[in-house]
Structure 1
Amino acid sequence: MGESGMLFFGTYDHNLDDKQRLTIPSKMRNKILNSTVYVSKGFEGSLEMRTEEEFEKWSSQILNLSSFNKETRMITREIIANTHEVEIDKIGRIKIPNNLLKLANIEKSVYILGMGDRVEIWDQKSYDNYQNDNSDRMEEIAETIYQGLNK
């Protein structure tokens, strides 16, 4: 969860400005208690943004995995090496590092998705393609997940 037990939710349509800064939606920004967030390479082509508190919990879980396992080393390397601490400026913008923009194919238009304990940042075309590719499976996936919760 976000700091103070707050959840991030909703989908927002935003653009990077000419200096590659992204304005965090005010409803999300109000849940971030300090001016530091962590932006990481995510999954399925997204970036993930976490508060300092959530980043510490999340990275601790990753770093507590056995470094003797090759797959653990690979995922740790991929995620931790592609994480950046970024500051939120006075008007609520963050500067996403160029290497992360390239990894997520972000040029200008993005979707910002609240995902509970984190925020996903997607290139709009990539997210639209992801949605189109997976929309037929959503009911099937939901059924499988919810059945597992009821056991």
Structure 2
Amino acid sequence: MANFIGEFECKMDAKGRVMIPSGLRKQLDPAAQEKFVLNRGFEKCLVLYPKNEWEHISAEVNKLNQYVKKNREFVRYFYRGASELGLDSTGRILFPKRMLDYAAVEKDVVLFAYSNRIEVWDKSTYDGLLTDEPDDFADLAEEVMGNAGNKGADELS
């Protein structure tokens, strides 16, 4: 499983191509063969998955019971617009215009890499998201991560 890390500011050319920074390309698993799947993300960003990671995620989604209406709705939305992309000979990715429109991505782009994905953000949207930092990040961290690694803590008392 990939474990990306980093935040990369890039420029998109007039054709919708972005050069993937070398620091990020070095983190790619050779099994991905420089192929990706681009998908809609949450909060109006795009998500770029290495092809081998997409296969794992897609397999999980495909396990959902298709007789449950919410599952079908989720699957349709999840796969809507998904596109297989590859790096060109100069290390650029050409993003489909429809997907760029969805995320309002223009010239200045931030690639936010974490876990097994790379979020693609319009820089101004990304900067705005980060200025909305919770009043007390420590409280949020405790709420979200407070019990991480404390298996059986209740059993000790």
TM-score (norm 1): 0.90
**Structure 1 residue 106: Cα displacement:** 0.4
**Structure 1 residue 137: Cα displacement:** 5.1
Structure-2 residue corresponding to 1:140? 139
Q: Are the counterparts in 1 of residues 36 and 50 from structure 2 also a CA contact under 8 Å?
A: yes
Structure-2 residue corresponding to 1:63? 62
Secondary structure, aligned partner of 1:148? coil
Q: Residue type matched to 2:10 in 1?
A: H
**Structure 1 residue 140: Cα displacement:** 2.3
Structure-2 residue corresponding to 1:114? 113
Identity %: 30
**Structure 1 residue 12: Cα displacement:** 0.7
Q: Cα RMSD over matched residues? A: 1.4
Q: Are the counterparts in 2 of residues 104 and 122 from structure 1 also a CA contact under 8 Å?
A: yes
Pairing 1:30-41 to 2, within 5 Å after superposition: 30-32=26-28, 33=30, 34-41=33-40
Structure-2 residue corresponding to 1:26? 22
Relative distance call for 1:137 and 1:48 in structure 2 (3 A) is: farther
Aligned-partner Cα distance in 2 for 1:62–1:107:
30
**Structure 1 residue 48: Cα displacement:** 0.7
Secondary structure, aligned partner of 2:104? coil
Query: Which range moves more in the overlay, 62-71 or 136-145?
Result: 136-145
Structure-1 residue corresponding to 2:155? none
Relative distance call for 1:76 and 1:137 in structure 2 (3 A) is: farther
List alignment gaps of at least 5 residues for structure 1: none
Relative distance call for 1:56 and 1:13 in structure 2 (3 A) is: same
Pairing 1:1-151 to 2, within 5 Å after superposition: 1-2=1-2, 7-32=3-28, 33=30, 34-136=33-135, 138-149=137-148, 150-151=150-151
Q: Are the counterparts in 2 of residues 49 and 118 from structure 1 also a CA contact under 8 Å?
A: yes
From the CA coordinates, give the structure whose radius of gyration is larger. 2
Ranges of 4+ aligned residues in structure 1 off by more than 6 Å? none
List alignment gaps of at least 5 residues for structure 2: 152-157
Aligned-partner Cα distance in 2 for 1:78–1:138:
31
**Structure 1 residue 132: Cα displacement:** 1.8
Q: Are the counterparts in 2 of residues 15 and 109 from structure 1 also a CA contact under 8 Å?
A: yes
Query: Which range moves more in the overlay, 22-31 or 133-142?
Result: 133-142
TM-score (norm 2): 0.87
- When the two structures are aligned, how many residues end up with a matched partner? 147
Aligned-partner Cα distance in 2 for 1:48–1:22:
14
Q: Are the counterparts in 1 of residues 134 and 140 from structure 2 also a CA contact under 8 Å?
A: no
